[in-house]
Amino acid sequence: MRVERMASTLLRLLLLVAVALMALPAQAERIRELANFGGVRDNVLVGYGLVVGLDNSGDQTTQAPFTGQSLSNMLSQLGITVPPGTNMQLRNVAAVMVTADLPPFSRPGQRMDVTVSSVGNARSLRGGTLLMTPLKGADGDTYAIAQGNLLIGGAGAQAGGASVQINQQASGRIAGGAMVEREVPVDLGANGGLLELELKEADFGTAQRVVSAINAEFARPVAAARNGRVIALDGPRNANSRVNFMARVENIRVTPTEAPARVVLNSRTGSIVLNGNVTLGQAAVAHGNLSIVIDTDVGVSQPNPFGGGETVIVEDTEIRIEQQPGTLKVVEGADLLEVVNALNSLGATPNDLMSILEALKAAGSLRAELEII
């Protein structure tokens, strides 16, 4: 009964969301929310480094030997020689991976945030300091250097065999913790001022509307669609004029076409999300729960007095299958409100609704794409 109430509450929430969405008119969006210029993107960076200054919560070098090796290599570069075979029992050092996103048009000397994550068995990175760590791109070149004090959002304590922890302590961030050392060249309009506008979601209708809006804005044919995602723009050859042209294009408002009908099922959490274009053709659905109950009673068998036997434990196991009755119900909906009401009338749990939606799709009654994540 509790699960059924949860399913009913979930569907009621979907109903409220549907009412709110249907009450909102279609609004135009700026092109900068719908598309990006080709070549203007972030570049991911990664590096391996060491965090020091931990309060006895770092890696155990016996279980994470690479931490000791990394520290020995770093000390040797600083002119300190560690005798071979030395077992450094250090608990204030942790091996970490450092990741960052290099924004487009970044110049040497600019700073960016980094994320630091433990790769060993360190309990916490709280209070640690990241030592100078080169951050490399996919080509193996170094584009930034990271260093600084970590900010950890979690907290924890342990004593007497008991422990308590809030949030994750094995990773943290350093605001402005990396300095750019090398820029990624972005040559916009190198091919005679030709630019490419890439839609975030491929759609032929939206591409056509974007082309029409841009050409209307400039009163001449400067845009042409290559496919459902890429739009070619004839931009100025001068760099300053090109920037003004791109800024003007980004602020043009376009009303995108409606998204296709789609149902998203999250098999891990049991969440079900339907967009406003989902409809149901007429179908009859029977739903009933099947459960297997195993009941074991433990008894004792004793021998007769002076019989010479032994007392033994006897288990009496009973297995039965219970099935709740399910009757055929007609479901049909021309809009999202009717779809939610129809599914809510079945009284099914979220997991059962997933199976029902899959069956409706197979029967051709569900007019929507079914996506399982």
Total residue length of the chain: 373
Per residue in 84-138, pLDDT (tens digit) is: 766 677 788 999 999 999 999 899 999 999 999 999 888 888 889 999 999 999 9
The model's confidence at residue 23, banded by pLDDT at 50, 70 and 90, is very low
Same domain, 59 and 173: yes
Same domain, 116 and 229: no
Same domain, 124 and 235: no
How far apart CA 373 and CA 367 sit, in angstroms, is 19
The model's confidence at residue 320, banded by pLDDT at 50, 70 and 90, is low
Same domain, 245 and 356: no
Beta pairing class for 230-234 and 194-199: antiparallel
The per-residue DSSP string of 184-213 comes to PP--TTTTTTEEEEEESS--HHHHHHHHHH
DSSP letter at 365 equals: -
Task: Take residue 156 and report the two structure tokens written for it.
Answer: 């924890």
Task: Take residue 244 and report the two structure tokens written for it.
Answer: 């003004």
Residue 314, pLDDT score? 66
The pLDDT of residue 308 is above 70: no
Residue 37 covered by a domain: no
Residue 332, pLDDT score? 66
Contact present, 277 and 261 (Cβ < 8 Å): yes
Residue 231 covered by a domain: yes
Predicted model pTM? 0.67
How far apart CA 350 and CA 363 sit, in angstroms, is 20
Residue 111, pLDDT score? 95
Which helix (H) or strand (E) segment is 52 a member of?
Answer: strand 43-52
364 to each of 305, 359, 367, 368, how far by Cα in Å? 72, 9, 7, 10
Residue 132 covered by a domain: yes
The per-residue DSSP string of 207-231 comes to HHHHHHHHHHHHTS--EEESSSSEE
The model's confidence at residue 315, banded by pLDDT at 50, 70 and 90, is low
The boundaries of the domain holding residue 361 are: 2-24+261-372
The pLDDT of residue 299 is above 60: yes
Same domain, 72 and 145: yes
Per residue in 249-281, pLDDT (tens digit) is: 999 999 988 888 888 888 777 777 877 778 877
Domain boundary among 203, 230, 254: 254
Task: Take residue 64 and report the two structure tokens written for it.
Answer: 């994470």
* Amino acid at residue number 181: E
The pLDDT of residue 19 is above 50: no
| Top-confidence residue, 120 or 326 | 120
Residue 69 covered by a domain: yes
Q: Cβ-count burial of 353 within 10 angstroms (0-12 exposed, 13-18 middle, 19+ buried)?
A: buried
Beta pairing class for 369-372 and 366-367: unpaired
Q: Give me the chain's average pLDDT, please.
A: 79
| Top-confidence residue, 164 or 234 | 234
Contact present, 272 and 10 (Cβ < 8 Å): yes
Total tally of structural domains belonging to the chain: 3
Same domain, 68 and 121: yes
The model's confidence at residue 179, banded by pLDDT at 50, 70 and 90, is very high
Task: Take residue 31 and report the two structure tokens written for it.
Answer: 């092109």
Contact present, 222 and 232 (Cβ < 8 Å): no
Residue 30 covered by a domain: no
Residue 244 covered by a domain: yes
CB crowding 60-86: b at 16 or more within 10 Å, else e:
ebeebeebbebbbebeeeeeeeeeeee
Residue 34 covered by a domain: no
Per residue in 183-201, pLDDT (tens digit) is: 888 877 767 778 899 999 8
Contact present, 242 and 235 (Cβ < 8 Å): yes
